[in-house]
Amino acid sequence: MRLIVLAPVLALSLFAGAALAAEPPPEAEAGLNIARQYAKTNKIKFRKVKVGADGAVCGLASVGSDRDIQFLVNVDEQTLWLGEGPTEPNSDFHYGNKITRDTERASYSVWKACQKGK
């Protein structure tokens, strides 16, 4: 009987914990605003958002159930790097001088270092 009563309480506490963990850190807001500015839609969602030691903001971006795209924003230069092909036809982001795209290992390593807080 106790298990039946405790199960909903446990489920609610796990859900609340997951919702809190999904919130990006407040210091990432400037970088996320830059990424939103370059997005084609306001329905873009950001996950696993981190701020690197150099102040860069990185994480994963997606629209709906679409694929996740790695992104890295240099807040000082207001540039955006996306981990997708340079001519991606179905990109959720615009093209421009301050937006770079590539799938090179070196760029991915910079993104991964940001994810680790380095």
**What string of pLDDT tens digits covers the 118 residues of the chain?**
454 544 444 444 444 444 445 688 999 999 999 999 999 999 999 999 999 999 999 999 998 877 899 999 999 999 999 999 998 888 899 999 999 999 999 999 999 999 999 9
pLDDT digits (tens, 9 = 90+) for 57-76: 999 999 887 789 999 999 99
Return phi, psi of residue 59, to 5°: 165, -155
Rounded CA separation 18/47 (Å): 12
pLDDT at 9: 44
Phi, psi of 26 (to 5 degrees): -60, -35
pLDDT at 65: 75
91 with 74: CB under 8 angstroms?
A: no
First CA to last CA distance, the chain: 49
Give the sign of the dihedral formed by CA 11, CA 23, CA 118, CA 87: positive
- Percent over 90 (pLDDT), the chain: 70
pLDDT for 67 equals 83
Query: Can you give the pLDDT at residue 4?
Result: 56
